[in-house]
Amino acid sequence: MEITDLLVKNAMIMDMQATDKLGAIDEMVDKLYETGRITDKVLFKEGILNREAQTSTGLGDGVAMPHAKNEAVKEATILFAKSNKGVDYEALDGQPVYLFFMIAAPAGANDTHLAALASLSKYLMQDGFIAKVRETKTPDDVIALFSSEEKEENKEEAKIESTVKDTGKFVVAVTACTTGIAHTYMAEEALKKKAAEMGVGIKVETNGASGVGNKLTAEDIAKADGVIVAADKAVEMDRFDGKHLISRPVKDGIREPENLITMATDDSLPIYHGSGDASGAGASDEKLSLGKAFYKHLMSGVSAMLPFTIGGGIAIAIAFLIDNAMGVPTDQLANLGSYNELASMFKNIGGAAFGFMLPVLAGYIAYSIAEKPGLVAGFVAGAMASNGLALGKVPFAKGGDATLNLAGVPSGFLGALVGGFLAGGVIILLKKILVGLPRSLDGLKSILLYPVFGVIITGFLMLLVNIPMSGINEGLNNFLSSLSGSSAILMGALVGGMMAVDMGGPVNKAAYVFGTGTLAATVTSGGSEVMAAVMAGGMVPPLAVFVATLLFKDKFTKEERESGLTNIVMGLSFITEGAIPFGAADPTRAIPSFVAGSALAGALVGLSGIKLMAPHGGIFVIALTSNPFLYLLYVAIGAVVGGILFGFLRKAK
């Protein structure tokens, strides 16, 4: 399949009217919907915005490549759009964007589709190609240009190959981005092109959405003078043991290929030493601050844990709903949630999912720190935090005999969090201690030494750690249980407001993680007030956008007003990220307004003591709150206040 098979004439916009990012996205999404390429504008746009929230797809040089892969796409399509005025798209180089290639990939896109999409990324890296695209006037001109480029592709590959054969230096590279559609292949093309100019031979392996392409062989790596890893996600690393290696984010592969190739061929570049584990992280080796490193590892554990929390929590909540609907005798209220047989089934299923929550949290924190060897030690630490295995007391008798008692002291979410970092640290220490072993024992390290010593050392440390962590965990739970009046209002306002500060960023995630942590201890007893405030705060910003665009129409463009309508669905679904384009376009006015509305909603939830038994879902789990009517009312109040503030502060267009 070629690029021209994905470019559709009637799905092109040759004179885009939008002048800002949100308007441009809406205009392109509308065009895809009008031409029958997508079935659901809201779902597809959600995918586009989620990708933009990670980093702008405005790649620089006047080009943007927004992309999404989800169930809303009927047929793989590349929508081409050209703006004659230029669009403020928050591009990486800070310049206006004139050319857009919106990639719509079906959820089950096959390799041929993805290969064609990768080719588009390569064309955009070729000298003079962007200028040629800007000169096109009609859809036929666009199709003709790409048809011509496709014919020239084989000639260009042959030119690169001839350069490789004449070079004295040779490097290998791996490129990988989080989505695996665009940046992976743009970095590949940039590195190959620059290597040809520099007279350096290169082979580039791509870790894209369709899998590993052009995989490096042992022979390739052996003859390489250096290795470049331009990746934002995990790639196989231990195969590069003993080679000069430079690791950077994938964006550096696109923007700084010459610098990477120069460093890779420099004999003074540090030599990489593997861990005996074939699944090394492979992410950038740029030094992270302590805070950023903590956040990165914590989010790795939380993202792996959340499916268990959500699935298990909602299953348990359904058990309570069933018992409430079927009825429970007054003298059996202590068994609410498990009295009727059907309810008991749901509760047992949810409990099984919840049982994995803390081990998975600790396991994947340790994995993020120490790669695959950290998993087993982390899982054990999480299980011990959940089970409460800890040292009791060691009384010594006069005769010299000693007894050792083990006491059950569950330390919950906090204990698992500490255990995950502890397990990762233990494995890192073991790697340093065992680095002097002969290379013939590398296989033994990963299969025997790391698991055995990691589990034992981490386990004994957790016997001690569980004692203070259980006290902190119990004190926190008691404090939250005792919240009422002004303290509950303050807590609700704090976590609610945090949800709107960066709408999906670190502050938002911190509040959400705290909420899910409290839910774990309260879901079997009616739910968590903190979780209820968190979700209310997260629902407000998109709904506030709708209110503002409805009441202050003269201050928003037509495209922004239309986008305000889609924010109703996002807000009701607890997708805070729907408000990001408005917050990013006008942060000094939008964000304080959103924070005020979210904090108010959270405070009202805290004041009324409303509890929530589910960690996600928005309006779809409203029945799992202790007072659905009041909850929706408080969310609406927060949205109206936030929307009026935003509209009042906003400057007229």
What is the DSSP annotation of 213-237? ESPPPHHHHHH-SEEEEEESS----
Q: What percent of the chain has pLDDT over 90?
A: 25
Active-site positions read 67, 177
Is the Cβ–Cβ distance between 364 and 305 less than 8 Å? yes
The two structure tokens encoding residue 501:
């500060």
Return the H-helix or E-strand segment holding 204.
Answer: strand 200-208
Is the Cβ–Cβ distance between 45 and 29 less than 8 Å? yes
| pTM (whole model) above 0.75 | no
Average pLDDT over residues 195-200: 86
Q: State the residue for tokens 């005798």.
A: 329
Q: How many helices (H) and strands (E) does the chain have?
A: 24, 12
H-type alpha helices, 125-249: 129-134, 139-166, 183-198, 218-223
State the pLDDT confidence band at 283, using cuts at 50, 70 and 90. Answer: very low
Average pLDDT, the chain: 81
| Distances in whole angstroms, Cα of residue 321 to Cα of each of 327, 573, 579 | 10, 21, 32
Look at residue 20 and give its three-state secondary structure.
Answer: strand
Of 145-149, 274-278, 613-617, which range is least confident? 274-278
- For residue 171, the 8-state DSSP code is E
Is the Cβ–Cβ distance between 191 and 202 less than 8 Å? yes
Whether the pLDDT of residue 395 is over 50: the answer is no
Q: How far apart are CA 615 and CA 531, in angstroms?
A: 7
H-type alpha helices, 356-409: 357-370, 373-387
- Count Cβ neighbours within 10 Å for each residue of 526-541 and write b for 16 or more, e otherwise: ebbbbbbbbbbbbbbb
Dihedral sign, CA of 71, 75, 78, 84? negative
Q: What percent of the chain has pLDDT over 70?
A: 83
| Distances in whole angstroms, Cα of residue 24 to Cα of each of 97, 251, 562, 563 | 10, 24, 12, 11
pLDDT in tens, 408-430: 667 878 888 899 999 999 999 99
Number of CB atoms found within 10 A of residue 42's CB: 17
Whether the pLDDT of residue 145 is over 70: the answer is yes
**Residues constituting the chain:** 653
Spell out the SS3 assignment of 475-540. HHHHHHHCCCHHHHHHHHHHHHHHHHHCCCCHHHHHHHHHHHHHHHHHHHHCCEHHHHHHHHHHHH
Of 133-147, 214-228, 566-580, 588-602, which range is least confident? 566-580
In 232-366, where do the E strands start and end?
Answer: 245-248
Distance of CA 545 to the CA centre of its chain: 24
pLDDT in tens, 335-372: 777 888 998 998 899 889 888 988 999 999 998 888 88
